[in-house]
Amino acid sequence: MSYCLNPTCQNPQNPGDAEFCQSCGSKLWLTDDRTPSASRYRIVRPIGQGGFGRTFLAVDETKPLIFSQCVIKQSFPQNTAAEKAAQLFHQEAVQLETLGKHPQIPELLAHFETDGRQYLVQEFIDGKNLAQELAQKGAFTETQIRQILNDLLPVLHFVHKSKVIHRDIKPENIIRRRLSAAPLPALENSLQPPLFQKDIVLVDFGASKKVTVTGLPQTGTIIGSAAYTAPEQLMGKAVFASDIYSLGVTCIHLLTHIPPFDLFDSTENSWAWRNYLKTAVSDDFGRILDTMLQSATNRRYSAASAVLRQLNPKPVYLEAKPVLNEPETPAERVPALPIAPPIFTREEQAQIQEALQDAIGPFNVTIQVNQAKQKLNIVINRTAENPVYYPHLCQIISTRLTDLQLNKVVAVKLLGRVNNSRVPEWKQVLQIDPKIKLRNKLVLQHSKLVKQIAPVTTKDFWLPKLQTKRFWIDSLMFAIVWFVFGSQIVIFNAWCALIVASGFIAVKHQVSQNKEFANNNLFASLVVLFLMAGGMGNSRILNTGVFGVLLGCLVVAMPLFFVKENYQ
């Protein structure tokens, strides 16, 4: 099918092979008058319309079918602001010349004017926008929103570094594309460029604004979608933080599936988005969104990088300087050192590998862990058909290593390989923060102790014991010894009586474990001692010196005299 570009055409749909509109007679093929033979665009269907123009899906008939689809924006103001529309259209074209080089921003393919109208030809992004996803699948989860922010904030950082404010961030202008496995070229002046396409793409820079040299907010056109627009932008004074605000509104709309206007409590002059959540979000994430939604710019995040730092706190394992592939010179060689014993057993190493494999299992890669001295070597192996973004995997692995509390490790070397190739395609070194190494060790020891005593806190441990005669006799013995020493005989203080009683039970337990024991005779002896001490009334035998300590030790050792072989 071919679609007529004439705004006044009553029946714009035409057969695919037609060259002129059957309704109004307008030419259906769109060409650049400057280079008539370069490209011939056939309009397929309209996909959007705004105040300054219309957007169409089109095909470039001069290109192979797989690369032919594109998006064409036609300048078509619906009011008298034709001059302003032309200015914005030209401004968008100029900005997309630079911004379109980013892999998560549509590339500008052509910009020309014909028949008195301006046209922008852009890369076609195959996928659905977040508004369509919301309508089809319902409210997003915190995990999904975090992933969207992690993918989109670097794009926004790039846009702001290019001195451009988008001014129209909303779910309709964020598209999740269907990923392809083709690698993308690295961006210039990027410290850590992505190796492969990400699925989130920021589109529609028709409302964007170039920041002046002074960087001060200047009053301009009030533009953007009102429900997502920051207060200062509504007054025509948009700043970089205005995009942060719009992104925050987008997030709470996706989390709640409630229109933004209904999420704002005008009586309290604050956002009430938590009241509409389908699933609660974590406190730290909620604070991040609240900061993005602050009305005053001095209380809001001023840059996308600031949001990213809050969203991804630096893990214990910190990135070190990059690994350099430089040849080793003779002067750099050092004598071989004796082989150090491994820091982990094979079983422990297997457990670490299994934990890391579970952490990055959804990415369809395999993990291999090796150890050398106090270092771990972790190999991430992928297939040629499965592209991955290694920095993201590095973040996941570093966080998981922190959770494992591997205090013996001082550094971790990460390698990315394709089909177990000998030459890695990616390298990174992580180092543990020395300030928390001792704390890690203490936490690890504490965790082992907790693991050992954990069964004592369960009913499965106590129920079988409560059903045995021995348990109750031991309890009575403990109570008798505690009473005799705590009430009738004073050894320093009452806490010492508790220690004596506990020591008595411990010795009895050890003796009865290894030898046949006259339990009844011991119990009878303690009852006699109890009756004798109780017969003294309120009078106490004062033994606070060395004699009292010896008396307490004698009682603790009493079970040793009731081994059955002593009575045969």
For residues 275 and 149, state if they share a domain. Answer: yes
The amino acid present at 489, given as its one-letter code, is: I
In the residue annotation, 290 being an active-site residue is answered as no
Instruction: State the CATH number of the domain containing residue 298.
Output: 1.10.510.10
The amino acid present at 397, given as its one-letter code, is: I
Distance CA 376, CA 245 (A): 42
For residues 101 and 137, state if they share a domain. Answer: no
**pLDDT value of position 179:** 64
Who wins on pLDDT, 57 or 521?
57
Average pLDDT over residues 526-538: 74
Tokens, residue 518:
């006259």
Average pLDDT over residues 21-41: 76
Tokens, residue 108:
């500008």
CA distances from 136 to 130, 139, 142, 147, 497 (A): 10, 9, 18, 19, 70
Residue 532 falls inside a structural domain: yes
Q: Which of 123, 145, 170 is the last residue of a domain?
A: 123
Residue 371 falls inside a structural domain: yes
Residue 102 falls inside a structural domain: yes
pLDDT in tens, 298-326: 999 989 988 998 898 766 555 444 433 43
**pLDDT value of position 484:** 80
Who wins on pLDDT, 240 or 223?
240
pLDDT in tens, 44-83: 999 877 666 788 999 988 887 777 889 998 886 655 556 6
Q: Which of 454, 471, 498 is the last residue of a domain?
A: 454
For residues 399 and 413, state if they share a domain. Answer: yes
Count how many residues are written for the chain.
568
Average pLDDT over residues 93-122: 85
Residue 267 falls inside a structural domain: yes
Mean pLDDT rounded to a whole number for the chain: 79
Collapsing DSSP to helix, strand or coil, 382 comes out as strand
Instruction: State the CATH number of the domain containing residue 49.
Output: 3.30.200.20
Beta bridge partners of 113: 118
CA distances from 445 to 35, 349, 451, 455, 457 (A): 74, 19, 10, 17, 19
Q: Which of 26-35, 108-117, 436-445, 511-520 has the lowest mean pLDDT?
A: 436-445
Count the domains in the chain.
Answer: 4
For residues 447 and 560, state if they share a domain. Answer: no
Residue 318 falls inside a structural domain: no
Q: Does 156 score more than 90 pLDDT?
A: yes
For residues 515 and 440, state if they share a domain. Answer: no
Instruction: State the CATH number of the domain containing residue 416.
Output: 3.30.70.2960
Q: What is the 3-state secondary structure (H, E, C) of 334-347?
A: CCCCCCCCCCCCHH
For residues 133 and 258, state if they share a domain. Answer: yes
For residues 268 and 135, state if they share a domain. Answer: yes
What percentage of residues in the chain have a pLDDT greater than 90? 23
Residue 319 falls inside a structural domain: no
From the candidates 32, 60, 151, 168, give the one annotated as an active-site residue.
Answer: 168
Backbone angles phi, psi at 14, to 5 degrees: -140, 160
- Do residues 243 and 166 touch, judged by C-beta distance below 8 A? yes
For residues 306 and 364, state if they share a domain. Answer: no
Pairing, β 489-490 against β 541-542: parallel
Residue 539 falls inside a structural domain: yes
Distance CA 302, CA 80 (A): 36
Q: Whole domain around residue 487: which residue ranges?
A: 458-567
Q: Which of 311, 334, 360 is the last residue of a domain?
A: 311
For residues 428 and 464, state if they share a domain. Answer: no
DSSP secondary structure letters along 226-241? GGG--HHHHTT---HH
For residues 273 and 156, state if they share a domain. Answer: yes
- Do residues 321 and 431 touch, judged by C-beta distance below 8 A? no
Please give the model's pTM, rounded to 2 decimal places: 0.54
Residue 185 falls inside a structural domain: no
Distance CA 72, CA 58 (A): 7
For residues 116 and 140, state if they share a domain. Answer: no
Distance CA 341, CA 345 (A): 10
For residues 166 and 242, state if they share a domain. Answer: yes
